[in-house]
Structure 1
Amino acid sequence: MVDPGTIRTVVGVIGNVISFCLFMSPIPTFISIWKSKSVQNFKPDPYIATILNCAMWSFYGMPFVTEDNTLVVTINGFGFFLEMFYTLIFFIYSTWSKRRKILLIFLGEIVFLALVVILLMTFLHSAKQRKVIVGPICIVFNILMYFAPLTVMRRVIQTKSVKYMPFLLSFANFANGIIWTTYALLKWDPFIVIPNSIGAVSGLTQLVLYAMYYKTTNWDEEIEQV
């Protein structure tokens, strides 16, 4: 009989692959931004939210916070640096008002992360204690990452167009939520189950919207800001 730990490792590897695809899925969006030298109507919200989410999960997966979560660290470490790159591209091709917003949010995230790490490592001396604090924080930011596309979903409903809601990103969000929920169920970890099950629902909602409004999308039309 296959050892549950082995199954969990396999699922975690699959989760890394799917998460890798999730992180890479916006590439067509950024190619479009680079070619047009403009962010057009694309939103930076998902990428800014994902920076802090990846940073917190990388911290959560460290052995001084939780055990046997190396796969959580590897994929979130990769995601952190890639999302930084995406956000930099947004910053370069945005107007000054949008640049200021991006910069302020990013600086706020850095300060928050530094405070969490310093305070927990200084005043809490066991992994169990740190996990109880870091886990709920990770839940909050993971949910924010999954629901950052809400602004885009609202635009889809208003304009009846999915032009600015990339299908690959929506599908990757759905698959990512499913596989990491499975990973956490194999060795019960509510801090991973809760946000990723919600993420699966969020991804599914985006896919439903994509199916509903795909035929009404004019791919050549420039959609006004709403």
Structure 2
Amino acid sequence: MPTLSFCIGIIGNVVSMLLLASPIRTFWKVVKKKSTGDFKGVPYITSLLSSSLWTLYGLLKPGGFLIMTVNGGGTIMQVIYITIFLIYAPREKKIKTATLAVIFDVGFLGTVFAITLLAMHKLSLRLTFLGIICAGLSIVVYASPLLVMRIVVKTKSVEYMPFSLSFFLFLNAGVWSFYSVLIKDIYMGVPNAIGFVLGSAQVILYVIYKNKSRSNRSMDVMEEDGSVHLVKQSIIEMRAYDQDGDFDDGGDKVMINDPILNRGTSLPKSSINRQYNSLKLIRTVSLGPYDVFPNWSDDAISNVKRNFYADHP
């Protein structure tokens, strides 16, 4: 009958493979566009180094089959990701990524393998040496979202912290923390415990700022649409403005208190208002006596003209 640790390890393998498969969508877009865009290759180089070392750790550790399988699969996937990245990256980025891959995934990795297998002969010493290095790398990988968490708190937006990724990081670290307790492995336990705490923090931040992000997006949309509301307000004013400077709608005075329309007044002045004022000025200058005083008779207007010229010879 399978032990509890074996069952938890199987669950950990499934969760980890789902987490490792998360960049597939990203790289599918890279292949379709034939460009890496703004993506960087450093995370995949670091993950390849970590997965490779954990694979060796699982091979050497008695009962470490499940550690070896999940990290062996991760190593293969990271190699595929880096290969695709190098194919479609621009020349400058390609050279930089390839250089880092050679330094860390060939030079550093080969050195650690050589020291572990050739310079150390006791299994306990090998596991201690590898365990410390693997734990350090895992802590770095789990600590990498700290920058994103800082951005979330600063901007009050979870736009750059996808919930699925945060949730799987939290779940993955939790499962492997439990597994490490069952098999009494401190080198797995410490980094995964730290990852569990950071993953929990990410999930909490997402819950806190999820609704605020939506309201911020709504405000952005309203600000973008402010010019449209300003146009609507200007049109209403142009249609309803009477000669006394009041709003008139068929003889009844009305006030426009729509908050959405009034929001537009806080935005930069639109050229529509300037054009409308210019049209009013031009129209006022070009008005004839019959336009200004439509109810006056010809005799009344003639008397006004006669009196004006008499006062202003």
CA distance in 1, matches of 2:117, 2:197: 34
Are positions 1:90 and 2:69 aligned together? no
Q: How does 1:68-217 map to 2 (within 5 A)?
A: 68-109=63-104, 110-153=106-149, 156=152, 162-211=158-207, 212=209, 214-215=213-214, 216=216
- 1:34 lines up with 2:20 in the alignment: no
Which of 50, 63, 66 matches 2:61?
A: 66
> In the alignment, residue 17 of structure 1 is paired with which amino acid?
V
Q: Please, which runs of 5 or more residues in structure 1 have no aligned partner?
A: 219-226
Q: Counterpart in 2 of 1:56?
A: 53
Q: Distance in 1 between matches of 2:87 and 2:161?
A: 21
**Distance apart, 1:183 and its partner CA:** 0.3
Shift of 1:125: 1.1
Structure 1 length normalisation: TM-score? 0.82
Structure 1 or 2, whichever has the larger Rg, is 2
Structure 1 residue 155 displacement after superposition: 5.2
Separation (CA, whole Å) in 1 of partners of 2:154 and 2:42: 18
* Equivalent pair of 1:39/1:94 in contact (CA under 8 Å): yes
Whether 1:6 and 2:6 are equivalent positions in the alignment is no
C-alpha separation between the residues in 2 aligned to 1:116 and 1:21?
28
Provide closer, same or farther for how the CA distance between residues 56 and 114 of structure 1 changes in structure 2, counting only shifts above 3 A: same
User: Offset of 1:47 from its aligned partner?
Assistant: 2.0
Cα deviations by residue, 1:109-133 (Å, 9 ceiling, x for unpaired): 2111111111221121121110111
Number of the residue aligned with 1:223? none
In structure 2, distance between residues paired with 1:90 and 1:161: 29
Which AA in structure 2 matches 1:82?
M
* Higher RCO, Cα 8 Å, sep 6+: 1
Paired-residue identity, %: 37
Which sections of structure 2, spanning at least 5 residues, go unmatched? 219-313
Letter in 2 for 1:148: S
Q: Is the 8 A contact 1:26 1:166 kept in 2?
A: no
CA change 1:46–1:69 in 2 (3 A) is: same
Q: 1:54 & 1:205 partners in 2: Cα distance? A: 24
Deviation for aligned residue 1:173:
1.2
Deviation at 1:42, TM superposition (A): 3.5
Corresponding residue pairs, total? 213
Q: Whole-Å Cα distance in 2 between the matches of residues 37 and 151 of structure 1?
A: 29
The residue type paired with residue 12 of structure 1 is G
The 3 A distance-change label for structure 1 pair 30 and 152 is: farther
Q: Which residue of 2 aligns with 1:47?
A: 44
1:29 offset after TM fit, Å? Answer: 2.2
Residue identity matched to 2:173:
G
Query: d(CA) in 1 for partners of 2:40 and 2:156?
Result: 17
The code of the aligned residue for 1:94 comes to: A
Distance in 2 between the 1:204 and 1:196 partners? Answer: 12
Aligned partners of 1:81, 1:138: CA distance in 2, in Å? 18
Give the C-alpha shift of residue 56 in structure 1. 0.6
Structure 2 distance, partners of 1:201, 1:19, is 17
Q: Tell me how large the CA RMSD over aligned residues is.
A: 2.4
Distance 1:54 1:187, change over 3 A: same
Paired letter, 1:60: Y
